Amino acid sequence: MTDNEDVGLTAALRIFGDRVRRNRQISRWTFYALSKQTGIEISALSDAEAGINSLTENERETLSHFLWDDIETFPKILRTERIKAANSAAEKATELRSAPVVDLMRYRETWQKTSSHPEE
């Protein structure tokens, strides 16, 4: 997994967790009741809302379906966030390539005079 994928996964988990929290609260489900209905442990549900990767793919699909969301929600969010991360990395690389280049040879003599040991 590359750095861009890690950034994309972290962002996707956070967004998915926010959606789960919002839908659970709108539906007035407690963690306990949602756990009983979906078969997913309370701690895993809490971690999912916090953006921690504790659910399996099947559990995410079950949770999405139960909370009236598309079961493809997480994969779509993940794809989008990975694309954003890749584009951001490409923009940074382009900025670095267009940065001005300093001619160090021009300053070498001055640096040597100020950084060398004094002659006796």
Please name the residue ranges forming H helices in the chain: 3-27, 31-38, 42-49, 57-66, 73-97, 105-115
Find the CATH number of the domain harbouring 86.
1.10.260.40
Regarding pTM above 0.75, the answer is no
Question: How confident is the model at residue 111, as a pLDDT?
Answer: 64
Domain membership flag for residue 35 = yes
pLDDT at 7 exceeding the cut of 60: yes
What was the pLDDT predicted at 8? 85
Has residue 22 been placed in a domain? yes
Average pLDDT over the chain reads 83
Q: Would 94 be classed as within a structural domain? A: yes
Mean pLDDT of 16-21: 93
Six-digit token pair at 27? Answer: 């539906």
Is 100 inside a domain boundary? yes
Domain annotation covers residue 120 = no
Give the number of domains in the chain.
Answer: 1
Residue-range definition of the domain harbouring residue 44: 3-115
In a domain, 59, yes or no: yes
Query: What band does 53 get if pLDDT is binned at 50, 70 and 90?
Result: confident
